[in-house]
Chains A and B, each alone.
Chain A
Amino acid sequence: MLETIPEFFRKLAETYPKWNFIFFYDPVQWERVLGGLLVTVQLSIVCVIFSVVIGIIGAWAQGSPSAAIRWIVAGYIQFFRNTPPMIQLLFFYFALGQFTPTVTGADGWTEQPIISNVGWAIVSLSFFAGAFNVEIFRAGIEAVPDTTKEAAESLGMTRLQTYTQVVLPLALRVSLPSLNNNLVNLVKTTTQAIAIAVPELLYEMVSIWNDYNSAQNAAMTVLFFTYIGLVGVLIFGMHRWERALFIPGFGGTK
């Protein structure tokens, strides 16, 4: 059985030279695809988590009594939401990357920065998606009635307690559908990390079809289906979460 799959794709490539699924029968290329997929999955998971955390903290800071903090959050959102993620990646890696501390390599010339290209991709993509998440959570927070907040206040809860224990749990339920959309976008945006040579799935696939020109159509097809799969897993998880959190009157259905 395991032998027939590589055999099938080898035959296919012989019959249709434009459909060379080389990675399904050449172990070296298969390793490259798996390596790229692993980086994509890691990048996606880490960025999803960071961006949600940034969104939650940012939305809280937006309601801060301090005008300075509100200004900083507003500035952050304007900067990251209004510039293309590709330019952010290039800017972070090439421009800011020059000023971060580096470790001089064994040869005495190369300087390995403390933040690698993968690190910058995580920073940049998390902040990019985080800026949208702040606004998404704000929409949810504004949907929580003032009377609820006042009730919490009258029970003697502090601003932080009100936020973490009353407002956020309710706001999260309202925010989930738009959060879904943004996180799906984030997973797809990880492909742009190819600009700073992060060896994610698109990078590996482009490298493969450059090395084996006949593999181009095959690589593109597999890319499509892989992202459909990855996003599918994310959406499935988010829907499960949405249903688990369901309470009447705060969006969603059981």
Chain B
Amino acid sequence: MKPLLKLFTTTAVATATTLSALASSYAASCTNDSWNKIQDRGKLVVGIKEDTKPWGFIDTDGNLVGMEADMAQEVADMLGVELELVGVQSSNRMQLLEQGYIDLMIATMSDRDDRRKIVGAVLPNYYTSGTNILAPKALGFKDWSELEGKTVCGKQGTFYNKIIEERYGATVVAFTGNAEAKQALRNKRCVAWVFDDSSIAADLASGEYEDFEMPLQTEDDNPWALAVPIGERDCIFGRFMAGMQYEWLRTGHLLELEKKWGIQESAFLVKQKDRFKDWLED
């Protein structure tokens, strides 16, 4: 009896597998695991930065807030599920998504070729930034080449640490977080802090860096991408996020969020609003 039962189960399983394989062949092996998980548990887990003011940071009450937190909230609202925010760092954000600890990552990530092999970056890109430095006015930097042989503070996990070292011969001392890197600059341990120009602009606008400036020509302007698990980029989740981003850009909603968080209006968003303009709108 037992072997017979076993044979029966095996056949049933095999048949079921074949059938489901046939059924899903129209959408090249989309299992929609994360998408289904979000619906089942009624909760969306989003990874945002915890030290990158004003995109994702911890406020004085200890809550994760910022422009990207607002975006995450809108995604959850659209899905009709609860939102859970998880603080991530540049050096672990892709791994957390890859391992399934977060469903979605909106974490100031530059959209790079090698990163697309690991996470499912969804187009259209919602933001952009380039590389610049925060340096004391006293040093009067004018050109990137002046960084040669100097110690520059940076953060683990940004793609331009290597570029700065290779292209300009600077030594990058990379800290695990922005707070530490900026503290090291204030303690005068390095001549500059290398980071995203938009983030530096936000720091300068905060009034906490009166003796500092962003003196160089921004380099390597690089769009940002939010990401879903790589297997779901071309499935429901990826397509859904593409739609979210399209609406954000078309309506100029991100420009409103920029205003809310005190970020200088970015030319990129103005351009995108025009690019995706509804042709029937007056």
Among all A-B residue pairs, the 6 with the closest Cβ atoms = A111-B188, A210-B157, A197-B173, A211-B162, A109-B138, A197-B175
For B, the interface residue count at a CB cutoff of 8 angstroms equals 31
- Chain B 174-214: CB-based contact to A (< 8 A → 1; otherwise 0): 11100010011001111100000000000000000000000
- For the complex formed, measure the closest distance between the CB of A191 and the CB atoms of chain B, giving whole angstroms: 12
Which of B90, B114, B183, B187 has the most chain A CB atoms inside 10 A of its CB?
A: B187
Question: Contact size class for A?
Answer: 20 to 34
20 pairs, CB–CB < 8 Å, chain A vs chain B: A98-B187, A107-B139, A107-B150, A107-B191, A108-B138, A109-B139, A109-B188, A109-B191, A110-B189, A111-B189, A113-B189, A194-B176, A195-B180, A197-B184, A207-B156, A210-B90, A210-B161, A211-B162, A213-B118, A214-B118
A195 to B155, CA, bound (A): 11
C-alpha spacing A102/B117, complex, angstroms: 46
Q: How close is A185's CB to chain B, nearest CB, in angstroms?
A: 21
Cβ of B9 under 8 Å from chain A: no
Q: Are A110 and B183 in contact (CB under 8 A)?
A: no
- Residues in B neighbouring A197, C-beta threshold 8 A: 173-176, 180, 184
If A110-B189, A110-B190, A196-B180 touch, whether A213 touches B114 (CB-CB below 8 Å) is yes
A65 to B151, CA, bound (A): 50
Q: Give B residues with C-beta under 8 Å from A.
A: 90-91, 94-95, 114-115, 117-118, 136, 138-139, 150-151, 156-159, 161-162, 173-176, 180, 183-184, 187-191
Residue from A108, A213, A216 with most neighbouring chain B CB atoms (10 Å): A213
B188 / chain A contacts, CB cutoff of 8 Å = 102, 109-111
Interface centre among B91, B139, B184, B189 (most CB of A within 10 A): B189
Q: Measured between alpha carbons, how far is A196 from B173 in the docked complex, in Å?
A: 9
Interface residues of A in 177-234 (CB under 8 A from B): 194-197, 203, 206-207, 210-214, 216
Q: Please report the C-alpha to C-alpha distance between residue A117 and residue B183 in the assembled complex, in whole angstroms.
A: 13
Whether B187 contacts A17 by the Cβ 8 Å rule is no
- What chain A residues lie within 8 Å of B117 (beta carbons)? 17, 213-214
Q: Are B187 and A97 in contact (CB under 8 A)?
A: yes
Q: Check if A94 is an interface residue, CB within 8 A of chain B.
A: yes
Contact status of A213 and B161, CB under 8 A, knowing A109-B191, A197-B175: no
Tell me which residues across on chain A come within 8 A of B173, comparing CB atoms: 117, 197
Interface mask (A95-132 → B, CB under 8 Å = 1, otherwise 0): 00110001000011111110001000000000000000
Q: Is A90 an interface residue (CB 8 A)?
A: yes
Contact B161 A207, beta carbon cutoff 8 Å: yes
**Which residues of the partner chain B approach A203 to less than 8 Å between Cβ atoms?**
156, 174
A97 to chain B, nearest CB (A): 6
Interface-central residue, A195, A197, A206, A207, by most chain B CB under 10 Å: A197
Which residues in A have their C-beta under 8 angstroms from that of B90? Answer: 210
Least Cβ–Cβ distance between A85 and chain B, in angstroms: 15
Distance (whole angstroms) from the CB of A247 to the closest CB of chain B? 48
- Contact present for B187 and A109 (CB under 8 Å): no
Q: Is there contact, CB below 8 Å, between B187 and A94?
A: yes
Q: How many angstroms from the CA of A243 to the CA of B94 in the assembled complex?
A: 49
Decide if A90 touches B180 in the complex (CB within 8 Å).
yes
Q: Which residues of B contact A206 (CB under 8 A)?
A: 91, 156-157
The reply to whether A94 and B174 contact each other, CB–CB distance below 8 Å, is no
Bound together, the chains give a CA A199 to CA B138 distance in angstroms of 28
